[in-house]
Amino acid sequence: MLKMQAVNKVFVTDLIETHALRDFSLQVEEGEFIAVTGPSGSGKTTFLNIAGLLEPFSSGSYLLDGEDVSLMSDNARSRLRNQKIGFIFQSFNLIPDLDLFDNVDVPLRYRGFAAGERRRRIVRALERVGLAARAAHLPAQLSGGQQQRVAIARALAGEPRFLLADEPTGNLDSLMARQVMELLEEINRDGTTVIMVTHDPELALRSQRNIQIIDGQVNDFSSNAAA
């Protein structure tokens, strides 16, 4: 359902060409929990941005649910991103001047849901992460772990098929990191495909499948379940 074939991503400046991804090929099946590891600058985030349709790629092909995204307009890519992909970032990326309710509301607005449907989904998503009672709070009034849970609620509210997480526990202490990881595992058990970039080998081991990216290439596949 997510299939990249010989994808290349080249950043060109006046002086230098940087190959962030080289002949990158990867297939992710529905319901998988994949951990993506690799050293800094290896191309993990670039892969995640391309997978999440946030960045174009230079060559190759990328099929998401059978649709060739390279041929899509910005509007179509945005719609697909909104409907099928949820993002979780290391730095949470909540909008600071919107309260939790309105933050979770953002992707639902672009989906075009009616007010009643949006409210139902927002409340359910915030209840799931245990923050429904704080819907009127601003992000700055929450701890880091709570903010990340709001970000997860925001990603879940649209019921995406894919959850892309870029070092979701990177800014959290170990207790909060474990809580967030447990939440992601629970989401995966409910059927959502999770692709998580992480530096933490312990978290990587908890995934079903671990891929390493080195110098922009998928260097190694391993199945944690088989290991």
Partner 1 sequence: MFSHYMFAYYLKLGIKHIAETPVLSLLIVTAIALGIAVSMTMLSLYHAMAHNPAGDKSGQLFAVQLAAYGNDLETWGEHDGLPLQLTHRDAMNLRDSEVPLRQSPMFRLGMTVESRVAGTPPSADFDVRVADRDFFAMFGLDFLHGEPWRAETDSDPARVAVISQRVNARVFGGDGLANNVGRTLLMNETEFRVVGIVRDWHPLPRFYDLNTSAYPTTPDAIFIPYSLTPLLDSFPRGNIQGWNPEEHLNNFAHMLQAEVVWQQYWVELPEADSVTAYKNYLAAYVDQQRQLGRFQNQQPRGHIRDTQQWLNYNNVIERDNRVMVGLSFMFLLVCLVNTVGLLLARFLRRMHEAGVRRALGASKAQIFQQYITEVVVLGALGGLAGLVLSLGGLWSIRQLYEQYAPIAYLDTSMVAAAVAISLLSSLLAGVYPAYRACAAQPSLFLKAQ
Is residue 168 a contact partner of residue 91, using CB atoms and an 8 Å limit? no
Which SS3 state, helix, strand or coil, does residue 130 take?
coil
Site for partner 1 in 35-64 (CB under 8 A): 45, 49, 52, 54-55
Cβ-based nearer residue to partner 1, 112 or 220: 112
Strand partners, 166: 197
Report the residue from 5, 18, 25, 91 that binds partner 1 according to the rule CB under 8 A. 91
- Nearest distance from C-beta of residue 108 to partner 1, angstroms: 9
Give 132-140 contacts, CB < 8 A, sequence gap 24+. 134/100, 135/99, 135/100, 135/101, 136/99, 136/100, 136/101, 137/99, 137/100, 138/96, 138/97, 138/98, 138/99, 138/100, 139/92, 139/94, 139/95, 139/96, 139/98, 139/100, 139/103, 140/96
Helix pair 144-157, 100-111: axis angle to 10 deg: 20
- Segment contacting partner 1 (CB under 8 A): 64-72, 79-87, 186-194, 198-206? 79-87
For the chain, give the longest Cα–Cα distance. 53
Is residue 59 a contact partner of residue 136, using CB atoms and an 8 Å limit? no
Give residue for tokens 């990881």.
181
Cβ-based nearer residue to partner 1, 129 or 206: 129
**31-44: b (≥16 Cβ within 10 Å) or e:** ebbbbbbbeeebbb
- Nearest distance from C-beta of residue 205 to partner 1, angstroms: 25
Answer yes or no whether residue 8 interacts with partner 1 by CB under 8 A. no
Answer yes or no whether residue 95 interacts with partner 1 by CB under 8 A. yes
Interface size with partner 1, residues (CB under 8 A): 30
Annotate each residue in 163-202 with x if it binds partner 1 (CB under 8 A) or - if it does not, as one string. ---x------------------------------------
Cβ-based nearer residue to partner 1, 16 or 227: 16
- Segment contacting partner 1 (CB under 8 A): 108-116, 192-200, 203-211, 216-224? 108-116
What whole-number distance in Å separates Cα of residue 100 and Cα of residue 105?
8
Answer yes or no whether residue 148 interacts with partner 1 by CB under 8 A. no
Report the residue from 110, 144, 161, 208 that binds partner 1 according to the rule CB under 8 A. 110
Positions in the binding site for partner 1 (CB under 8 A) = 45, 49, 52, 54-55, 74-75, 78-79, 81-83, 87, 89-95, 97, 106-107, 109-112, 154, 158, 166
